Amino acid sequence: MAAGFVDTARISVHAGKGGNGAVAFHREKYVAAGGPDGGDGGAGGNIVLQVDDNMSTLMDFRYKRKYVAENGVDGQGARRNGRAGKPLIIRVPRGTLVRDAETKEIIKDMSDGEPYVLCKGGRGGWGNAHFATPTRQVPRFAKAGLEGESHDVILELKLLADVGLIGFPNVGKSTLLSVVSKAQPKIANYHFTTLFPNLGVVYVDEETSFVMADIPGIIEGASEGAGLGHDFLRHIDRCRLLVHVVDVSGSEGRDPVADFDAINAELQNWSPELAKRPQIVVANKTDIMADDSLLIALREHVEPLGFPIFPLSAASHTGTRELVFKVAEKLAELPPVTVYEPEYVPRPPVVDADEPLEIEVEDGVWYVAGKWLERLMANVNFSDYESRMFFDKALRENGVFAQLEARGIQDGDTVDLYGLQFEYQR
C-alpha cells in the first residue's frame, strides 16, 4: 500500500444500546397512593455513513478501526423518557463501496449524497408505567434496552470519474490533467508513479463538463500486485472511457507500441470487462520528438484495433483542446458511471435457546423475556419481510410458542416481546 494513500480499510461498527426503562412511583404531597411513573429508555444511536466530498482517501480509517455510537439514556421517574443516543456519523469519500467483511458482498455504494444507516441503535426499554393494569397496579419491574446492531465491514474506494488517464509513469498524465482541468496535481520528471489519484473537472462549454482522473501509473505485473498498480487498478472500474497516454518522444528510449500493449495486458489480467472499455490513445510529447517514426508506428498499431489516436503536447498545450472535444463527444454516446447494486443479504444470528424464558400474563397480555430472546431481537430487522419470517421461525423452533400454548395462551391474546407486541394466532 502506498504511503499517504489508503483505498481499503476494515472497520468494526456498533450502534448504541437502548436505555433501560425506569421503575419509579409517583410521589406527591397529599396524594395517598401514587401510581407507577417510570419512563422509557431512549433508543441507541445509529451508525450513519455520509459522503464527504472533501475526502479523497480512506486515510482516516488507517488507525481508528472501531466506531461505537452513543447509548440511549435510561428512563426516569415522573414518566420522563430517556434521551435517544446521538447517531455516530462516519464520513467517507464519494465512491466508497461498503462490503460485508465476511462475505465481501456489497452492502452500499456511497456514490450519492444521501446518508445511509449502516447499523440501527437498540430499542429503549419500557418503564414500569407501561405495565400498570387494573389487576397489577404496582408493577415493580421495567425492561432493559436492547443492544444495537453491529457489523464488521470493508470500505473500498472506487473513484467516481467519467474518464481515466492510464499509462506508464512519467508519460505526462498529470501534466495533461492540469492543462485540461482545474486540478493541480504534483508534477515532476520522475520514473515513479503518482502516489494517489488526482481528480479534475474538465469544462467543455457552459453546459458540458466531465470528471477526469489521473490514475497512478500502472507497471507490468500490477494485476498480480506488483508495485502500486494493484491498489489502483480498481479506480478505473467505474470510468466510462479510458484515455491511454503514451510517450512518443523517444527521449527515454521507450517503445510506444510495447508500452501500449503492456498496459492493455494488465487491464486484461485485472478485468476482461475493463479491457473492453472504450479507449482514446494520446501520443504525447510530440514537441520533443526527434522524428515521427515512433508516432507512425503507434498509429499503425492502434488504428486497426479501432482506437482513435491524438498526437499532442500537454506541456505546450498543443492539441489538448481537440482531445477534450473528442472525449466529450465520446462520453455523450456512453452509459452513465456505474453505481453498484447491493448484494448483501443479512445472515440470521445464531440462536442459543438453552437459557430459560420468563413468561408473565397480565390482563390477556403475555410478557416474554430472556437473554437469548433479547440478543435475537437486537439482530433482527423488523422492517424486512424475510427477517420477520426468520424471527417467527426462530420463536417456533426454539419452543417459545409451545411454552405459551402449554401455559394456555388463546388466539387473539397479545404477546409482548420487549415492547414488540403482536396478536397470537396458532
Give the model's pLDDT for residue 228: 43
Number of neighbours of residue 215 by Cβ within 10 angstroms: 28
Rg (CA), the chain: 31
Whether pTM exceeds 0.75:
no
6 pLDDT tier (thresholds 50, 70, 90): low
Task: Give yes or no for a contact between 143 and 371, defined as CB atoms under 8 angstroms apart.
Answer: no
Each residue of 230-243: pLDDT tens digit?
555 677 778 899 99
**All domains in the chain, ordered by first residue:** 1-158 (2.70.210.12), 163-331 (3.40.50.300), 350-426 (3.30.300.350)
What does pLDDT average to over the chain?
84
**What's the pLDDT score for residue 14?**
97
Residue 109 has pLDDT above 60, yes or no: yes
The cell for 207 is 453546459
What is 117-172 written as a DSSP string?
EEEPPPPPPPPGGGG--SS-SS-----PPPPPPEEEEEEEE----SEEEE-STTSS
Closest alpha carbon to 78 in 44, 16, 31: 31
| pLDDT for res 191 | 38
User: What is the per-residue pLDDT across 351-387, written as a single tens digit (0 to 9) for each?
Assistant: 677 778 888 887 778 888 888 888 788 777 777 777 7
Q: Which residue has the cell 431512549?
A: 42
What grid cell was written down for 359? 413468561
- Please answer whether residues 46 and 121 qualify as being in contact, where contact means their C-beta atoms are separated by less than 8 angstroms: yes
Percentage of the chain surpassing pLDDT 70?
87
- List the beta bridge partners of residue 50: 91
Interacting residues of 54 by C-beta distance below 8 A, sequence separation 6+ = none
Which pLDDT score is estimated for 80? 92
